[in-house]
Amino acid sequence: MEIYQLSNEEVFKRLKTSNNGLDHKDVQKRLKEYGLNQIKEVKRKSLIYSFLANFYNVLALLLWMASILAFITNTPQLGIAIMGVIIINAIFSFWQEFEAEKATEALKKILPLKAKVIREGCEIEILANQLVPGDFMVLEEGNNISADARLVEAYQMKVDNSTLTGESRPVRKVSGPVEEEDNCIESHNLIFAGTSVTSGSGKAVVFKTGIQTEFSKIAALTQTIKGETSPLQKQISRLARIIAFIAIIMGISLFIINLYVVRLPLELAFLFAIGLTVANVPEGLLPTVTMALAASAKKMVGKNALIKRLSSVETLGSTTIICTDKTGTLTKNEMTVRKVWIPDKIVDVTGAGYEPKGDFICNEKPVTHRDIKEIKLLMRAASFANDAKLIPPQENDGSWGALGDPTEAALLVAAQKIGFNWEAEMEKMPRFLEIPFDSKRKTMSSIHQKPDKKVVYIKGAPKKIISLSNYISINGKQEPLSEKKKSELIKNHDELASLGLRILAMGYRNLPDDLTKFSPENVEKDITLVGMVAMQDPPRPEIKDAVAECHRSGIRIIMITGDYGLTAGAIAQEVGIISNIDYRIVKGKELELMNDQEVIQILKSGENVIFARAIPEHKMRIASLLEEQDEIVAMTGDGVNDAPALRKADIGVSMGITGTDVAKEASDMVLTDDNFASIVAAIKEGRTIYENIRKFITYIFAHETAEIIPFVLMVIFKIPLPITVMQILAIDLGTDTLPALALGKGPSEADVMDRPPRPRSERLLNLPVILRGYIFLGIVEAVLVISGYFWVLYRAGWTLGQDLAFTDPLYHMATTMVFSGIVMAQIGSLLACQTTRMSSFKIGLLKNRWIIWGILFEIVVLLSILYIPGLQAIFGTIGLGITEWMYIITFAPIMLFSDELRKYLVRKREKTNFSFESP
């Protein structure tokens, strides 16, 4: 018989296990027999192909063309040099891509898939790859299923099988044997690796792992999908094409002018055209961008933000609105019961955290569950309608811990504090059935079997429980609950909620003997209310500063929570999301009655608003409406039903600790500490990386202009070319490589969060970048180096129009002056380009240690080319004297202070969009 046809007992017998799970020896034996529970990865594209790909990108093809022309014009030395540049650039690019891929693989290990199993009678959490056939899995809403298994318990359980069947509608699952199916995947008592639990809970026995699973059959297809190209990478590719086009047009134009206007020999005209083409190519552009993105993603991990898609890095920098949950994100998610309300009494609870130390204080005296009947009923409902588990110190590194929802864990701690032994009570009244919590119902029920009847214990949102209640327990007796009394109860609830406390209500019902269908509609009615529990989840201490930083940077925060409005409002006021004076609470039901225009009006009004008692569908709607208004939205979520909203938002942010597997898969970023402050840190890093790439481009453009203008002057004034092609190559892929990387790895500017978010439509290469790099810094640098060129020539008696042979030592001295001048000027540009608006002196000129190494690298390469005889011959240089050094050393401070003046004017006239402003 097939496994889906067997009874539960036969399943355990076939797989040689039990409802106590496997023991350690069995696990080790089966691991050796079946191997790790992981899909065998398809062999990836060979590294050699990745390496070769760097030889045919747009800029590489342009250099190949220049190299071929150099051989044609009988300048093999130049052709070989350009080929060397291509090879060095390819090696460098490949190495950066290889490092980025290694970093990505390392990031995957930060949040490994886990599974809950019962082994040796204890429920534990293990790495999913340690699952073996015979393991007894425990499944809850939001879990990813990591192996093929047969259900033996199922409570209102539905599974998303879309990864296997393509059918998006969740499938209801059962635990008993089923008849023969045409396709085992359609069996209602089987679950499969790669699918997920959308609702309910259950337990299942694993029967297939690793490459034996159904999912392994389609794994090869998923592994061959190409990685996403981020918008920033697309912009860089577009920039490369623009540069290539400009280089070709300028090269052809110079060739034609030199051939037909200046009437240079063909070979010389070709040589100069090649030189101008090479001068236009920023060889280090592509690898530096790859390095910067990979380094940024790695840096974010250190700030508890795991970036899953590179595109998220730059999108983060443009975020205009953060839609955040409350519990765990703004708060510590360390629930502690503070007050218990029972009819006509409020009992205070002392103690904090998961350690069950503390007292219940009523009328300034400690009480136990035996003293007040309703407290015992309350604690029974709180601990029975509960799936959490407390972990004693000996099993949790010396301190008390919890497995499951922190709210439910807090209820168990409270029960222990008052001396209620729920485990002993549960043995007397075993659980018959669970109706899991649902965000729409806002309740959870647990049905228990007494010797003579079934009883349901229910907990949930107070207003929901009150509405379902027809009775209230007073002094151990059921009394009718009138509408007037319900109104009074809601007032009591609001008073507690206004203190920032989260409140749950509890009740019970004796089920009729003839009830056979245990659906929520049949079970959750005619409830007897026993009381309410008020819990405190204090805000994280760092949230207030993070919220203030968002406000300062033009990022709006909207709280969307399933919690009660007054509770959410108290927390929002405490952390600074809303003002203490006036704010609006929009409840979920109120939101459903509004049309889209009314919701948009609230969102656009700018008033302080909290969306309370919201369900995941509301998050989805709000995200959609905000994006229609051209906002860039970051949306937090942790539940399985949050997945659509996380996918819809520009940046879906899931919780690494409390988040479900489904939410993590749907998100773009996972917070490994569930902390709102980590979102703000990630946004700051997103802004920083975008700015750093712009700084690098600006820095590169400055010397591009200084390399191009000599060719223009050569044509206009018929002067000897002030810089050779070999010297251009020495700058582009020699002295400028490490400094460019230093800018790419630079820290955030102090004012990076004082600026409004970057518009979605803004280009990486925009007018301010062109004006600052090509025009302002480029022209200043060009004027300086050309002045050095003419200074050397005129000191030696040369006059304009006089011939000067390329082999003349004076020509070598003049071109060396230009080459060295560009390097010295670039040191000044490097220091200046560390910031865009604020003064470089304010952040510290050498605060970025990479800048120091970049400058030292430039100087070492420059001195080597100038004074090592073999390199002198290759690059056509000559050693400079003290006088020449004194002249060009001034270039660095001139470049730095010129840009400092520009920044000063930008800061003074920022609001008038001064033409040289950099974004």
Residues 434-483: tens digit of each pLDDT: 887 877 788 999 999 998 899 999 999 999 999 999 999 988 789 999 99
Structure-block tokens of residue 524: 């959750």
Contact 735, 809 (CB under 8 A): no
Distance between alpha carbon 398 and the CA centroid of its chain, in Å?
32
Per-residue H/E/C for 2-58: CHHHCCHHHHHHHCCCCCCCECHHHHHHHHHHHCCCCCCCCCCCCHHHHHHHHHCCH
Sign of the alpha-carbon torsion through 395, 397, 400, 405: negative
CA dist 843 → 242, 700, 836, 896, 917 (Å): 34, 22, 12, 14, 19
Angle at 549 between CA 673 and CA 643, to 5 degrees: 45
Distance between CA atoms of 500 and 534, rounded to whole angstroms? 9
Measure the CA–CA gap between 123 and 802, rounded to whole angstroms: 91
Told to judge if 438 belongs to the known catalytic residues of this protein, a careful annotator would answer no
Contact 608, 584 (CB under 8 A): yes
Q: Give the model's pLDDT for residue 225.
A: 37
Distance CA(635)–CA(617), nearest Å, equals 13
Q: What is the 3-state secondary structure (H, E, C) of 442-498?
A: CEEEEEEECCCCEEEEEEECHHHHHHHEEEEEECCEEEECCHHHHHHHHHHHHHHHC
Six token digits for residue 403: 């497995």
Q: What is the 3-state secondary structure (H, E, C) of 392-448?
A: CHHHCCCCCEEECCHHHHHHHHHHHHCCCCHHHHHHHCCEEEEEEEECCCCEEEEEE
Taking phi first (over 0 means left), then psi (-120 to 50 degrees means alpha), and beta for anything else, what does residue 353 get?
left
CB atoms within 10 A of CB 521: 8
Distances (CA, A) of 310 to 103, 233, 314, 315, 685: 12, 9, 8, 9, 13
**How many helices (H) and strands (E) would you count in the chain?**
35, 28
Alpha-carbon distance values, 889 to 788, 832, 847 (Å): 11, 16, 22
Any idea which residue has 């496994």 for tokens?
Answer: 3
Rounded average pLDDT per 10-residue block, the chain, 919 residues = 86 92 93 85 60 74 76 72 74 63 52 83 90 94 88 86 67 78 75 84 92 69 43 69 82 85 80 76 67 72 78 80 86 86 89 88 83 86 90 81 83 92 90 80 90 93 94 89 92 87 93 87 93 89 91 92 85 84 84 93 84 87 91 85 83 83 81 88 87 87 88 85 86 80 82 84 81 93 96 93 88 96 96 90 86 93 95 92 96 96 87 46
The pair of structure tokens assigned to 586 is 């929009």
Q: What are phi and psi of 894, to 5 degrees?
A: -65, -45
**Of 688, 691, 687, the residue nearest 699 (C-alpha):** 691
Task: Point out the catalytic residue in the list 135, 160, 325, 668.
Answer: 325
CA distance 757 to 760: 9
The single-letter DSSP state of residue 192 is -
E strand or H helix at 669, and its extent?
strand 669-671
The candidate with the shortest Cα–Cα distance to 150, out of 5, 30, 16, is 5
Please answer whether residues 646 and 128 qualify as being in contact, where contact means their C-beta atoms are separated by less than 8 angstroms: no
Q: How far apart are the first and last CA of the chain?
A: 70
If you count them, how many residues does the chain have?
Answer: 919
CA distances from 455 to 42, 435, 523 (A): 53, 13, 10
DSSP-based helix, strand, coil % in the chain, nearest 5 = 50, 15, 30
Cα 412 from Cα 383, distance rounded (Å)? 6
**Residue 331, token pair as written in the block:** 């708060």
Q: Is 531 helix (H, G, I), strand (E, B) or coil?
A: strand
Closest CA to 479 of 529, 523, 520, 546: 529
What is the DSSP code string of 105-139? HHHHTTS--EEEEEETTEEEEEEGGG--TT-EEEE
